[in-house]
Structure 1
Amino acid sequence: MTRSQIEFKNSDGITLRGWLYTPDHTKAEKLPAIVMAHGFSALKEMTLDNYAEAFVANLPMCCLIYDHRGFGESDNAPGQPREEIVPNLQIADYSDAITYASTRPEINPNKLGVWGTSYSGGHVLVVAAVDRRVKVVLSQGPCVSGWDNFHRLVRPDLIPQLDALFRAADRIARMEGKEAGYLPVVSEDLYGLSCALAGKEVYDFFMEWQKKTTWPNRITIRSMELFRGFEPQQLIEKISPTPLLLTVPMNDELTPADLSLIAYDRAREPKELSLLNGGHFDSYRGETLKKNVTRQTEFLKKWLIDA
């Protein structure tokens, strides 16, 4: 297969950059494709290549992967901070990536899907509900409710301090023209107020990848405020008749499995559920990754390649 560097401008004029995976030996006709992006602050290098390589090696299709605006190799809007996560803008960028994919000579514009994991696993639920160009959606370990997820991750006694941080240290400062405030994504203080994502599993994952990539351990304070108001589950019934594969790690502490299963019950057919052993990050490594890729490949063959 071939991996090419790609870049495209979104509807806000921001250049997003990533990779396009294509098979080496293809027929004359254009191929199906999926658009992929990573989760909360993560970069494309953090295992998305493993998924794309497996899909393209086993199916006649392409994979387009990109970094979210303000992260990795992608630009941010002039005057806007880097490492800021605005869910609705990232969702809009998914649709712009679909538009770009539809213009590629290798890709069939009538056979496009979306794939997301963790935070972007929530994004793709919204994209699939509102963008009818999407023919399949694969959502893995998704954040389905920012409100519920936020209140699982943050200790109740710390929430008033966070509210004060949102209000005084960030909103007012921005209104006065000051630079955005930042928080570390993870910290050695695993369960305090010093970082955005609490827990040893998430800390170990990001610290491992910080050694291998340009990932900066920070997000804007506003990103956390917007996280609490992100509710992709509200549209999950609207995805149908687009086929949905929801992958749920059963011991997930970051995006709890019970929240995903409740959302899955509300989704309409056609839908499929894949349950994985292990925690949130096990789907990115080892035997769990292999089993996960195999299951997702079967879904893609059934609903995107052969449909």
Structure 2
Amino acid sequence: MVERLDVEFKSEGDTCRAWLYKADGGGRRPTVVLAGGWCYVREIVMPTYAEAFAKAGINALIFDYRNLGVSDGDNRQHLDPWAQIRDYQNAISFLERHEAVDPDRIGVWGISYSGGHALVLAATDPRVKTIVSQIPVIDGYENMRRAHGTMEFRRLWAMILDDRRLRYEQPGERLYMPHATENAEAEVSSWPFPETVRTFLAIKAKEAPLYQNKSTVESVDLLMNYDVGPFVKRIYNTPTLMIVAEGDDLTLWDLEIGAFNAIPSVRKKLHVIAHTSHMTLYSDKSKVEKAAALATEWFVETL
């Protein structure tokens, strides 16, 4: 059995709570930091990866961002991508000081929204020695425009503007919207895919009771200005594995492959998992284990 420790660290005054999976062997070990995507808590899919890394001799730290899960933060269910990236950086600062961690061998893993964060971190934090970016969000505006379609995108914009007005008129008040919904025509959500709500509610029932199917509307407002394009051009020397689901039309595999091709480094690898989808990388155990094996192999090689 892999040893799992409860740990915590400060991020801009708030406490982020985490699990540290310790690799066998003692001493200072290479370590990978993991955090989730839209509304995720640490129980969602990430333990499979952390256990695989630890069994291969690599520590793994899974944490909840501020405002989510067991971590502190008064603005609950608010997803600020740049604050989440700072949470990653503060997790790295915590690990640098930990007795079980080799501070010169720290990697980052991300999935979906955090798959984009991993690319930003590879470009902006020299302490990150290698990354795995899995089914990443690349361009929030383009993603929302294509995911919602013309009429629903108009409704999404109307809700964002209503929220901006409310926050101006009544400071401290805000609107919320579902992460996903069964009926996009009846209810505006962040990610309007029935398979998303079904998958995450099933995970909530079995493994992740603290998951909530909602975020602030401002979270989507911030997503619309999120674009990793300017950052991937700065990944010159950080080994980068991108794992893409064939035909992924949630985070858009054409954008993902375009971002991969824009990375100037030769220390990169693209793996397209055939006959899969974005959501089966959560719901299909065999697909999750395949992706975990790919990530483990990469980290063993590069850390």
Task: Return the TM-score normalized by structure 1.
Answer: 0.93
Q: CA deviation at 1:160?
A: 2.7
Name the structure 2 match of 1:198: 192
SS of the aligned residue for 1:211 comes to: helix
State yes or no: 1:170 paired with 2:198: no
Distance in 2 between residues matched to 1:275 and 1:249, nearest whole Å: 6
- The one-letter amino acid of 1:142's match is P
Q: CA deviation at 1:216?
A: 1.6
Match of 2:124 among 122, 130, 136: 130
Compared CA separation, residues 99 and 238, structure 1 to 2 (3 A): same
Q: CA deviation at 1:251?
A: 2.5
Name the structure 2 match of 1:8: 9
Match of 1:283 among 262, 281, 300: 281
Name the structure 2 match of 1:40: 38
**What's the % identity of the aligned pairs?**
32
Name the structure 2 match of 1:56: 54
Q: CA deviation at 1:178?
A: 4.3
Distance in 2 between residues matched to 1:233 and 1:171, nearest whole Å: 27
What is the CA deviation profile of residues 96-147 of structure 1, one whole-angstrom value per residue up to 9, with x for unaligned ones?
1111111110000000010000000001111110000000011000001111
Name the structure 1 match of 2:65: 68
State yes or no: 1:265 paired with 2:261: yes
Q: Contact conserved, 2:181 with 2:187, CA < 8 A, in 1?
A: no
Q: CA deviation at 1:192?
A: 5.0
Is there any run of 5+ residues in structure 2 with no aligned partner, and where?
Answer: none
Q: Contact conserved, 1:191 with 1:199, CA < 8 A, in 2?
A: no
State yes or no: 1:18 paired with 2:14: no
Q: CA deviation at 1:290?
A: 2.1
Choose 64-73 or 283-292, whichever is displaced more: 283-292
SS of the aligned residue for 2:279 comes to: helix
- The one-letter amino acid of 2:114's match is S
State yes or no: 1:223 paired with 2:219: yes
Q: CA deviation at 1:281?
A: 2.1
Distance in 2 between residues matched to 1:191 and 1:4, nearest whole Å: 44
Q: CA deviation at 1:5?
A: 0.8
Q: CA deviation at 1:193?
A: 4.2
SS of the aligned residue for 1:148 comes to: helix
Match of 2:237 among 219, 235, 241: 241
SS of the aligned residue for 1:155 comes to: helix
Name the structure 2 match of 1:161: 155
Name the structure 1 match of 2:299: 300
Match of 1:85 among 62, 79, 88: 79
Q: CA deviation at 1:234?
A: 1.8
Q: Contact conserved, 2:48 with 2:289, CA < 8 A, in 1?
A: no
Q: Contact conserved, 1:201 with 1:281, CA < 8 A, in 2?
A: yes
Distance in 1 between residues matched to 2:292 and 2:3, nearest whole Å: 19
State yes or no: 1:149 paired with 2:146: no
Task: Return the TM-score normalized by structure 2.
Answer: 0.94
Query: How many matched pairs?
Result: 296
Distance in 1 between residues matched to 2:287 and 2:165, nearest whole Å: 45
RMSD (Å) for aligned C-alpha atoms: 1.4
Q: Contact conserved, 2:64 with 2:70, CA < 8 A, in 1?
A: yes
